[in-house]
Structure 1
């Protein structure tokens, strides 16, 4: 499989000096997700952890319920990119046929190809469980991310999605040029390891848009923590689903936008 990191010749200006050199950049490749030899989606993604990507995408799209619903999975390099070739169990294939759609997904978009406005803002699955976390736990979890972001340390150009629990620390982290792809890869990694997503924190190195909430809720996550802010629609959908949404998670603190009951903070509350 192609290396996810590519050397790029560049000229750098710093102050009054100019220097030739090479910078490592992330590879961006068309990745087709096919089911029983029919292409369902083509995404632009980083060619790493593609088994996780295929399983996680299938799970977050509602095409499968568990990894066992995929009877066979092969990652195949072809002339124009990479194919994730999957064979589905008969009942899941029938469900796919009933709701077949095609989408072409640029790295910054997770909703291309939807055929209605209603599909774009579909309700997220209700979050029925989820434990409480202290402020210190949230900060510990976010501090654990940078050391595991190997691709970003090299390229400074990819997103990460991770899963953390107080007992085990950082269980899995996946990276991609697309933030949606990184979350799908994480979903696949957790599905393959049979890890319950409602038992820990889903961590994001990006902003939280509505499709990230939808994907996390489908995964079964109860708490999302992101370094950036959520969008208004992400807040609305997370609130309706019962999902705790934490943003602006930095060294000096964080902001909770929905369902504060899962976050235990001992401090004096001031209303601005």
Structure 2
């Protein structure tokens, strides 16, 4: 909830305006931080992830390569984010799209939980940047590895480190950068750029 201050602009005479009041928002969606009134409320410790999942750089890159072709809505609009879920034995199990990156991830969490998935074995794929709330949601789901096409915020990196999540970002066709817990990305099987620990 934010604050709003009504103003009255007149040329002659006093202006009487009410004091600050809370803005009412019905059904907010998004990151989950709107309406948070203090930084300590926003930055709660993320759940600890104990996933034993391991991926080679080639597996991570191959999983991310599956995400683009599965984005039906983005092919039509070129204006939406996607979140995907991949398990090595089952492939790309779910892709959810939305104009909001947080909403895409929320849809994916619901989809993954409604299927016979094992989040501790999976890989979370994002077409957006990685912010703290994205890491917090991944931790609640129990996914040990996040791969994103864009960069993480510094707070997302600290949160992923504390939660025990491997954070791979700036994923391109020829490699990616590892920001936290590189042990889940195992020996490369191809001599290319593959991974770089940031």
TM-based fold match above 0.5: yes
Measure how far apart 1:270 and its partner are: 8.7
Please give the secondary structure, in 2, of the residue aligned with 1:128: coil
Q: Equivalent residues in 2 for 1:34-183 (5 A)?
A: 42=27, 104-105=28-29, 109-183=31-105
Q: TM-score, normalised by structure 2?
A: 0.80
RMSD across aligned positions (CA): 2.2
Q: Tell me which of 158, 171, 179 is aligned to 1:257.
A: 179
Change (3 A) 1:119 1:137: same
Unaligned runs of 5+ in 2: 1-24
Q: Tell me which of 102, 124, 147 is aligned to 1:225.
A: 147
Unaligned runs of 5+ in 1: 1-39, 43-103
Runs (4+) off by over 3 Å: 265-272
Choose between structure 1 and 2 for higher RCO, CA contacts under 8 A separated by at least 6 residues: 2
1:56 equivalent in structure 2: none
Change (3 A) 1:149 1:236: same
1:245 equivalent in structure 2: 167
Q: Tell me which of 158, 162, 175 is aligned to 1:236.
A: 158
How many Å separate the matches in 2 of 1:184 and 1:265? 32
Measure how far apart 1:240 and its partner are: 0.5
Change (3 A) 1:155 1:245: same
Deviation string for 1:156-193 (max 9, x for gaps)? Answer: 00000000112111000000011011001000001111
Change (3 A) 1:193 1:41: farther
Q: TM-score, normalised by structure 1?
A: 0.59
Larger % of strand: which? Answer: 1
Count of aligned pairs: 170
1:210 correspondence with 2:154:
no
How many Å separate the matches in 1 of 2:196 and 2:81? 34
Maintained 8 Å contact 1:163/1:200: yes
Deviation string for 1:241-263 (max 9, x for gaps)? Answer: 11100001110100010000000
Change (3 A) 1:227 1:41: farther
Please give the secondary structure, in 2, of the residue aligned with 1:217: helix
1:193 equivalent in structure 2: 115
Measure how far apart 1:116 and its partner are: 2.3
